[in-house]
Amino acid sequence: MRAVILGIALVAMGCSAPAGPGTVEGTVKWDGRGVATALVQAYPRPDLDPAVAPLAEAASDGAGRFRLELPAGTYWIWARATAERDGRPVRLRGEASPSPVRVQAGRTARADVVLTDPSALGASGVGSGIPVEGIVRGAPFAEVMVYAYPGRHRRPTGPGFAAAAAPDTAGRYRLGLRPGTYTLAARWRRSGEPHGSLVPGDKVAETVVQVPSRGTVQAPPLALRPLDPSIWGQTLRASPKGDTWVEGTVVDPGGRPAEGLYVLAFTDPRMVGKPAAMAPPTGPSGEFRIYLPGPGTYWLGARSRIGGPAEPGERVGAFRGDDGNGVRVAPGAPLRGVRIVVEEIW
C-alpha cells in the first residue's frame, strides 16, 4: 500500500512522464573507423527531397560521434562526408541504422551510420556486400550509369540509391549490395551528362532483384528504352510576365554568383510536386526574376536541373522567408533582394 501511495504522489508532483525534446546519438564510420566532421542530418520523410530542409543537423566529433536534439517523432537520419583515398577526394553518404529512428521526449535513441561511396569511385573492387552482376543493352556504355535503389520503385530516381556503377566496354556492371530487395535502374542521357533530370529523348531501364545473404546474383538484362513522359514528367517552362514577382540573386556557399540555376516557386511549404512558377536560368550575375501566378505566400527553390527529385552532382538551394513561413507577395509590390544559396548535393 505504501508503494502505491508513493506512486500516486510522484504523479501528482508532475513526474509521470518526461517533457521536452529527445536526442539521437550515434557514430559515423567508414572502413570501420569513426569519421570526423561528417554532417549528420535528420529529415521528417525518407525520400531526401532537397526542397525539404533537415529538422536538425550536427557535425561528428573527432571519433565520429554525433548528437542531435529533436522533438518527439519519427525521423530518417543521413550523414555525408568527404574523405581521401589514393590522393583523391571521395564523397561518402550513408543512412542511419535503424531507420527510421523514433525519438521520445526526454529519452535518447541510438542510431549509427556506415558511410559508403555511392559512385564506387573510392573502391578498387565491388566493395562490401553481395556481388550483383548484370548487363546493359541499348546505348553507348560510356554514357550509362546503373543505380541500385532499396525496395521496389516504379520511378527510381533521386539520391537515395544504395550503390552505383558504370558498365564496362561490354555493357557489364557489378555492384556490392546488402541482402534485401532492390530496384536496379540504368539511365542514358542524350546530353552525355552522368547526372540530371531525365527529359524526352533519354533512355531508361529498370529491374527488381532479390539479394540473398550469400552467393552472387545474376540480374536480368537492363534493356534501355525511351522514357515514358507520363511516368517521368515533362519539361517545365518559364512563367509568363505579370504584375507579381520576386527578384534576387542565386549564389554559391562562397557568395559568388551562380549561373545556370532555375528558380522555382511553390505554394506548399514542403516544396514538393509541380511548382507554381519558374524563372529562366540565371546568367553570369546570378540574378533572377520569377513571375508568380498571383498574390500569396510562396516558398522558393533553386536548382541546376528541373523535373523530378534532385540527384548527386546537382546544385540546389531554398529560400523560405526570414521566419521559414514563406514570402508574401502582392500585385504591383515586387519582393526584391532575395538571396538563395545553392550547394552541390551528393
State the average pLDDT for the chain: 79
pLDDT at res. 108: 95
Burial class (CB in 10 A: 0-12, 13-18, 19+), 319: buried
Q: Please indicate whether residue 294 or residue 193 has the higher confidence score (pLDDT).
A: 294
Q: How confident is the model at residue 307 (pLDDT cuts 50, 70, 90)?
A: low
From residue 346, alpha-carbon distances to 158, 306, 343 in Å are: 10, 17, 10
Average pLDDT over residues 57-75: 92
Domains of the chain, start order: 17-114 (2.60.40.1120), 130-232 (2.60.40.1120), 245-344 (2.60.40.1120)
Cα–Cα distance measured from residue 159 to residue 38, given in angstroms and rounded to the nearest whole number: 18
| Angle in degrees, CA 276, 280, 285, rounded to 5 | 125
- What is the pTM (predicted TM-score) of this model? 0.41
Which of 89-93, 182-186, 223-227 ranks highest by mean pLDDT? 182-186
Cα–Cα distance measured from residue 175 to residue 130, given in angstroms and rounded to the nearest whole number: 8
Check if the beta carbon of residue 117 is closer than 8 Å to that of residue 182. Answer: no
Helix (H) or strand (E) holding 343: strand 335-344
* pLDDT at 13 exceeding the cut of 80: no
Cα–Cα distance measured from residue 296 to residue 146, given in angstroms and rounded to the nearest whole number: 42
- Cβ atoms within 10 Å, residue 188: 23
| Angle in degrees, CA 310, 311, 312, rounded to 5 | 135
Residue 203 grid coordinates: 533512355
Beta strands per DSSP E along 104-255: 108-110, 112-114, 130-137, 144-150, 163-165, 172-177, 180-188, 203-211, 217-218, 222-223, 225-226, 245-251
Which range, of 17-26, 95-104, 209-218, averages the lowest pLDDT? 17-26
The distance in angstroms from the start CA to the end CA of the chain is: 61
* pLDDT at 24 exceeding the cut of 50: yes
pLDDT at res. 8: 32
pLDDT digits (tens, 9 = 90+) for 225-259: 887 655 554 444 556 778 889 999 999 888 999 98
* pLDDT at 51 exceeding the cut of 90: no
Q: Tell me the longest C-alpha to C-alpha distance in the chain.
A: 80
Integer-rounded Cα radius of gyration of the chain: 23
Q: How confident is the model at residue 124 (pLDDT cuts 50, 70, 90)?
A: very low
Check if the beta carbon of residue 250 is closer than 8 Å to that of residue 317. Answer: yes
Q: Please indicate whether residue 46 or residue 318 has the higher confidence score (pLDDT).
A: 318
State the DSSP string of 109-148. Answer: EE-EEE-B-TTSTT-SSS-SSEEEEEEEESS-GGGEEEEE
Average pLDDT over residues 35-50: 79
